[in-house]
Each structure stands twice: as structure tokens, then as C-alpha cells.
């Protein structure tokens, strides 16, 4: 029996000193970071100074230049695929995407030249002529802002049913009289949400949210090639057979309404969806101890969908299946009547 046992606090009634484990070998010193260098750049003739590591988009937003984005979201890794945020940088042969390009010392940036406006307008026209943008107020606003006329490419072609089986490097012959679209039947294979890929602009956000940027479930990926590229599960199997856990984070990041709550989709179909009659209330999810903020969208005294604000540190806009979809119990006023 050693000394310590004899000094048992229960026996001696002495407070026991806290045990602080000491690592073997040299004690690691927390790394010190040098202060971030300030870089100067010129934006539209105006000198600006930003910290090293800032992207062009952050720098532009910092000085109040509204730069359009579609595939960019603060909580996701920039993929720079929509190319609507392009700006002109002196010395660069092509335009550069503001969302992912880091500021370099002495950069000279122009954001409102004819060249920039043309590319942005064409990007919006390309999207609006190939995708149903009716539920994307963002794209419609950009269409107005840049004077987009997607009808220049001709009337839209009717929806095709075979996009999931498209062969890479092959397309059906066209006579050019109709503009090809990604139109296709809506996918409804579960009770919680609809997938209307005729509205998909392939911004990769849902894939990122399903993957390493949030959920790490990897149920969906971009499959196929070229214009026939699409968001798909393996072999386009229905979601209930896939890895999907119904966290709904893909719906949370979708900019076009291609992924939509079943509740919202069905109300829109029946013509009862009316955002002007809706209120939004922030609350804390009641299920577990993590404490995610949820925003309840309420219309006519009923919750119609649940989102989560991006700027809350707990989960930065991401939820799980319970927080996202598990709110029906709130509506049950008399539990007994439901049970019958």
C-alpha cells in the first residue's frame, strides 16, 4: 500500500490536488502565427488594402461591390464552376473567378467592364435557356441586371426522359431549331423532398454539402459528361436505396429550388404557397444537446419548412433529419385524436 492510498481524501477529508497529466518529452509549444500581411490592390481605380489570403470576392464585398454568385456559399469550398463572378484582372489572358482567386499584391481589378458584363450576361442566358429558373429569384434578378435575353437561342426543347442513361461523349443530332434543355421528369422517391433536376444548374453545392463540406454521406455526385452531366446516386438508384440520410443539407444549399421540401413543392403545385404570408422565426432545435438554430417558416399557423441560418457557429446552416424534417408533432393540437 503506497502513500497515496493513505492520503485518500475520503479518509483524511483533505482536498485532493488536481492531477495534471504531463506529456513525456519536450512540452509542445502552441504555434505562433505571424500577423497576416496586408496586400494592396486596385479595384476600379480605387486603392484597397486587404489581409493576405482574402479572396477577390471577399475584397469586393468588403468595399461594397456587389458581385453576383451562384455556386459560391460562405460555408462551402469554392468550386468556381458557374463563372458568373468573373472579373477582369490586368495581365490575365482570361477573366478570373472572384470567388476562388486569392488577392495578390498589386492586382489591378476591374469589375464593371463591357467584357465582364458580356460574360456574366451570357452565363445567365446559358442557364436560363437550358434550365427552368422559375423558382430561382436570384437568377431572375441577375437576368434583369444584365439584360439577359435567353430567347435568342430559340424555343426550349421538350423534356427528355433519358438523361440518367446518357452515354459520355455522345449526343443526339440537333437541327438547331430548339434550344436543348436539361428538362426531365421530377423525381419523387421519398416522403421528405422532391428532386426536380430540370431546375438544376449543376452548381455542385448539394454534392459538397453531402460530402466533405458538411455531411460526409456521399450519397450523390456529379455523374456523366458535358451537357449530360447530372447529379446522381450510383446507377441513378432511388434515394431510399442509396446512402442518403435525409439530413436535407442539400436542400438548404440549393440555389434554384431543384431540391425542395415536399411540403413546399406540394403547396406550390396546389397554388397555396405564398411567401408574403409567411413569417420566419428562429428557435433552437428541441431534439438533442447540440443546439442548432432552426428557422421555422410558418404560413397560416402551420410550419411549412425549416431552414437554418448560415451565420450561426454551431452548424453553420446544416441540420440533421430531425431538425430539418421532424416538426410535424408541433402541429398536432390534440395528440389523442391523432392516435385514433
Partner 1 sequence: MDIHLAKIEPALEEREAVNSVLGAPESGWSGGERRIDLEGHCAFGGHRSQAQRHLLLPVLHAIQSRLGWITPGALNYTCQRLDLPPAEAYAVASFYGLFSLTPRPRRVLHICDDIACMTRGAEELCGRVEQRLGPPSTDTLDGKATWYRSPCLGLCERAPAALISFAGERPCEGVFAPADPNRIIAALQAEGRDAARESPDRFDVKASVPQAGQPGLTLLKRAGRIDAESIDDYRAQGGFETLRRAFSLGRSWVVREVSASGLVGRGGAAFPTGKKWDPANRPVYLVCNADESEPGTFKDRVVMEADPFSVIEAMTIAGYATGCERGYLYLRGEYPLAGERLAHAVTMARQRGFLGDDILGQGVRFDVEIRRGAGAYICGEETALFNSIEGYRGEPRNKPPFPTQFGLFGKPTVVNNVETLINVLLIVEKGGERFATMGTSGSTGPKLFSVSGHVARPGVYEVPFGATLRQLIELAGGVSGSGRLQAVLLGGAAGTFVSPGELDTPLTFEGTRAIGAVLGSGAVVLFDDTVDLRKVLLRIAAFFRDESCGQCVPCRVGTVRQEELLQRLARGRPIGSTEEELNLLKEIAQAMRDASICGLGQTASSAVESALRRWRLFPPGA
Contact between residue 231 and residue 206 where contact means Cβ atoms under 8 Å apart: yes
Asked if residue 249 binds partner 1 (CB under 8 A), the reply is: no
Asked if residue 36 binds partner 1 (CB under 8 A), the reply is: no
Asked if residue 162 binds partner 1 (CB under 8 A), the reply is: no
Shortest distance, position 60 Cβ to partner 1, whole Å: 17
Give Cα 162 distance to the centre of its chain. Answer: 27
Alpha-carbon distance of 281 to 296, in angstroms, equals 5
Q: Which is nearer to partner 1, 30 or 169 (CB)?
A: 169
Of the chain, the end-to-end C-alpha distance in Å amounts to 66
Contact between residue 205 and residue 81 where contact means Cβ atoms under 8 Å apart: no
Q: Which is nearer to partner 1, 99 or 306 (CB)?
A: 99
Asked if residue 241 binds partner 1 (CB under 8 A), the reply is: yes
Which of 18, 26, 91, 176 binds partner 1 (CB under 8 A)? It is 176
Q: Which is nearer to partner 1, 125 or 196 (CB)?
A: 125
Shortest distance, position 333 Cβ to partner 1, whole Å: 38
Asked if residue 313 binds partner 1 (CB under 8 A), the reply is: no
Q: Which is nearer to partner 1, 134 or 217 (CB)?
A: 217
CA-wise closest residue to 33 among 51, 48, 49: 51
Residue by residue, DSSP assigns 96-148 as: EETTTPBP-TT-EEESSSHHHHHHHHHHHHHHHHHS--TT-HHHHHHHHHHT-
Q: Which is nearer to partner 1, 36 or 178 (CB)?
A: 178
Contact between residue 306 and residue 324 where contact means Cβ atoms under 8 Å apart: yes
Asked if residue 77 binds partner 1 (CB under 8 A), the reply is: no
Shortest distance, position 82 Cβ to partner 1, whole Å: 5
Q: Which is nearer to partner 1, 57 or 306 (CB)?
A: 57
Per DSSP, the chain holds a count of helices (H) and strands (E) of 11, 12
DSSP collapsed to 3 states, 161-196: CCHHHCCCCCCCCCCCCCECCCCCCCECCCCCEEEC
Shortest distance, position 47 Cβ to partner 1, whole Å: 23
Stretch that binds partner 1, among 29-37, 92-100, 283-291, 308-316 (CB under 8 A): 92-100
Asked if residue 108 binds partner 1 (CB under 8 A), the reply is: no
Alpha-carbon distance of 227 to 238, in angstroms, equals 22
Cell of 8: 485518500
CA-wise closest residue to 177 among 151, 153, 198, 158: 153
Asked if residue 224 binds partner 1 (CB under 8 A), the reply is: yes
Asked if residue 175 binds partner 1 (CB under 8 A), the reply is: yes
5 phi-psi bin (left φ>0, alpha ψ -120 to 50, beta other):
alpha
Q: Which is nearer to partner 1, 227 or 273 (CB)?
A: 227
Asked if residue 168 binds partner 1 (CB under 8 A), the reply is: yes
Q: Which is nearer to partner 1, 51 or 165 (CB)?
A: 165
Stretch that binds partner 1, among 56-64, 240-248, 300-308, 311-319 (CB under 8 A): 240-248
**H helix runs in 185-334, sequence order:** 205-210, 249-253, 262-270, 321-325, 328-331
Which of 18, 23, 31, 169 binds partner 1 (CB under 8 A)? It is 169
Cell of 176: 438547331
Chain residues binding partner 1 by CB under 8 A are 80-84, 86, 94-95, 97, 100-101, 115, 118-119, 122-123, 126-127, 129-130, 152-154, 165, 167-171, 174-180, 201-202, 216-229, 232-235, 237, 241-243
Amino acid at each position: 500500500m503506497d502513500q497515496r492510498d493513505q492520503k485518500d481524501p475520503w479518509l483524511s477529508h483533505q482536498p485532493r490536488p488536481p492531477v495534471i497529466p504531463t506529456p513525456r518529452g519536450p512540452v509542445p509549444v502552441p504555434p505562433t502565427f505571424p500577423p497576416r500581411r496586408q496586400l494592396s490592390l486596385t479595384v476600379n481605380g480605387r486603392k484597397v488594402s486587404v489581409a493576405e489570403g482574402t479572396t477577390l470576392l471577399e475584397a469586393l464585398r468588403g468595399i461594397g461591390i456587389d458581385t453576383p454568385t451562384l455556386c459560391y456559399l460562405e460555408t462551402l469550398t469554392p468550386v468556381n464552376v458557374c463563372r458568373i463572378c468573373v472579373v477582369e484582372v490586368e495581365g490575365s489572358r482570361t477573366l478570373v473567378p472572384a470567388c476562388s482567386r486569392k488577392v495578390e499584391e498589386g492586382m489591378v481589378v476591374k469589375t464593371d467592364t463591357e467584357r465582364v458584363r458580356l460574360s456574366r450576361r451570357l452565363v445567365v442566358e446559358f442557364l436560363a435557356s437550358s434550365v427552368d429558373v422559375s423558382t430561382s429569384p436570384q437568377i431572375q434578378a441577375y437576368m434583369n441586371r444584365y439584360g439577359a435575353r435567353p430567347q435568342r437561342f430559340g424555343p426550349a426543347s421538350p423534356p427528355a426522359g433519358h438523361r440518367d442513361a446518357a452515354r459520355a461523349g455522345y449526343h443526339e443530332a440537333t437541327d438547331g431549331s430548339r434550344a436543348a434543355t436539361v428538362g426531365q421528369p421530377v423525381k419523387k422517391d421519398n416522403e421528405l423532398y422532391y428532386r426536380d433536376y430540370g431546375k438544376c444548374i449543376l452548381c455542385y453545392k448539394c454534392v459538397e454539402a453531402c460530402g466533405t463540406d458538411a455531411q460526409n454521406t456521399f450519397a450523390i455526385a456529379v455523374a456523366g459528361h458535358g451537357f449530360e452531366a447530372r447529379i446522381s446516386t450510383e446507377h441513378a438508384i432511388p434515394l431510399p436505396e442509396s446512402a442518403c440520410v435525409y439530413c436535407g443539407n442539400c436542400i438548404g444549399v440549393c440555389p434554384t429550388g431543384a431540391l425542395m421540401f415536399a411540403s413546399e413543392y406540394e403547396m406550390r403545385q396546389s397554388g397555396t404557397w405564398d411567401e408574403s404570408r409567411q413569417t420566419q422565426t428562429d428557435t433552437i432545435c428541441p431534439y438533442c444537446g447540440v443546439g442548432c438554430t432552426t428557422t421555422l417558416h410558418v404560413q397560416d399557423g402551420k410550419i411549412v419548412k425549416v431552414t437554418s441560418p448560415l451565420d450561426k457557429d454551431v452548424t453553420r446552416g446544416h441540420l440533421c433529419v430531425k431538425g430539418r424534417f421532424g416538426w410535424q408533432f408541433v402541429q398536432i393540437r390534440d395528440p389523442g385524436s391523432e392516435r385514433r
